[in-house]
Amino acid sequence: MNLAAATNENLAHISNVLIYSSMAVYLLAFFAHMAEWLFGSRSKVGRTAAALTQQKDSATATPGTVKVQVKGKNGGTTTLERPAVVTRAVAGARDVPDGPGASGGDEQGDLYGRIAVSLTVLAFLVEASGVLTRALSVQRAPWGNMYEFNITFSTVAVAVYLGFMLAKKNIGWLGLPLVTTVLLDLGLAVTVLYTASDQLVPALHSYWLYIHVSTAIFCGAVFYVGAVATLLYLFRDAYESKLASGGQPGKFATSVMERLPAAASLDKFSYRVNAAVFPLWTFTIIAGAIWAGDAWGRYWGWDPKETWSFITWVAYACYLHARATAGWKGRKAAYLALIAFGCWLFNYYGVNIFVTGKHSYAGV
């Protein structure tokens, strides 16, 4: 018994060291990202303005055929001809190409960008091991208190980001904001929220813990990615509007905004991400209700945490409705998405810290 306790304490200690190490590596990744942005600013990109002024005569790809390389069954490749698809922008929408990314095509910037991503991968691995050893030290899922919740949350957020990278999605713009947030999140975790590793109180003993909390954390991480995209969309959209109406944005704004994806791409990305995870969020709430039914004898009791999950859910439903309602697309819907994420954040931090309810196991 005592021996086990000692190993557990050892593991908990190792976990702490790993978390601190990951913070150091994230910090390096942060600097690398900064360097990427800095060197990237050397390149002169002005494609947005060019595209916006050229839009009048948007000669889309010439109809005809394109040659497509196809892998044959026996390994060789053959070249096929196939007709080219001509696409047409929605009436009134801007036809703007995506920016080149933080490095702006600058070679050195690109090198730093790659270093930043590699460092992020490393930091992620270290942090994930930190979470894992923590879980081993307490011999349960590492979601018993706010500290554990935070370290898991940032790990999952980074995993989502790296997942998009692996899927070859245009997600480089997320790098700097993500690493910054993760550093803040971990900083908060190790200073304010730290709780020594320990067992769960009986009310938390349930397999619903695994189901409900893991999906909640995952949803949060994806909502976070969606919210960053929405925020950048708002900036980029303002920038594009200004250009389109003949304005001249400041030098710094130009330098940064030029390198982001087009507003339309960011908007579409954030919608897809939010919409994709909304059913899972619905499931999370239902799983929570089932658990509450087992643990507290009622499925729904308007406990502050439940209430805020509900508010978050309705806010995202609002957002989805807004997207389907003509007058609310674009910026207005984006504000709703940000409000919805604000609700999620409040549910996560605010309710645990400011409001007391049955969920206040948070251990702050």
Least Cβ distance, residue 317 to ligand HEM (angstroms)? 4
10 lies in the site for other proteins, by CB under 8 A: no
How far apart CA 244 and CA 49 sit, in angstroms, is 8
Helix (H) or strand (E) holding 67: strand 65-71
Transcribe 110-124 into DSSP letters.
HHHHHHHHHHHHHHH
Q: Which does 326 bind (CB under 5 to 8 A by kind): other proteins, ligand HEM, none?
A: other proteins
Stretch of 26-34, 110-118, 211-219, 305-313 lying at the interface with other proteins (CB under 8 A): 305-313
70 lies in the site for other proteins, by CB under 8 A: yes
User: Using CB under 6 A as the criterion, what x/- string covers residues 323-342 for binding ligand HEM?
Assistant: -x------------------
User: Using CB under 8 A as the criterion, what x/- string covers residues 205-244 for binding other proteins?
Assistant: xx-x------------------------------------
82 lies in the site for ligand HEM, by CB under 6 A: no
Transcribe 325-359 into DSSP letters.
SGGGTTHHHHHHHHHHHHHHHIIIIIHHHH--STT
User: Using CB under 6 A as the criterion, what x/- string covers residues 279-318 for binding ligand HEM?
Assistant: --------------------------------------x-
How far apart CA 27 and CA 213 sit, in angstroms, is 28
User: Looking only at residues 54 through 73 of this chain, which bind ligand HEM when binding is defined by CB under 6 A?
Assistant: none
Least Cβ distance, residue 276 to other proteins (angstroms)? 7
Stretch of 92-100, 240-248, 290-298, 320-328 lying at the interface with ligand HEM (CB under 6 A): 320-328
Cβ-Cβ contacts under 8 Å for 240 (sequence gap 6 or more): 48, 52, 94, 96, 262, 263
Applying CB under 8 A, what is the total number of residues that bind other proteins? 91
The Cα angle at residue 177 between residues 124 and 305, in degrees rounded to 5: 80
Which burial class, exposed, middle or buried, applies to 145 when counting CB atoms under 10 A from its CB (0-12, 13-18, 19+)? buried
Least Cβ distance, residue 120 to other proteins (angstroms)? 27
The correct pick among 65, 118, 139, 248 for binding other proteins (CB under 8 A) is 65
63 lies in the site for other proteins, by CB under 8 A: yes
Q: What is the DSSP letter of 145?
A: S
Nearer to ligand HEM, 138 or 315 (CB): 315
Q: Which does 91 bind (CB under 5 to 8 A by kind): other proteins, ligand HEM, none?
A: other proteins
Residue of 21, 132, 115, 93 whose CA lies nearest to 244: 93
Cα Rg, the chain, nearest whole Å: 24
| Residue 132 CB coordination number (10 Å) | 15
User: Looking only at residues 327 through 346 of this chain, which bind other proteins when binding is defined by CB under 8 A?
Assistant: 327-329, 343
Identify the bridge partners of residue 67 per DSSP, sorted by sequence position.
81
Binding site for ligand HEM (CB under 6 A): 317, 320-321, 324
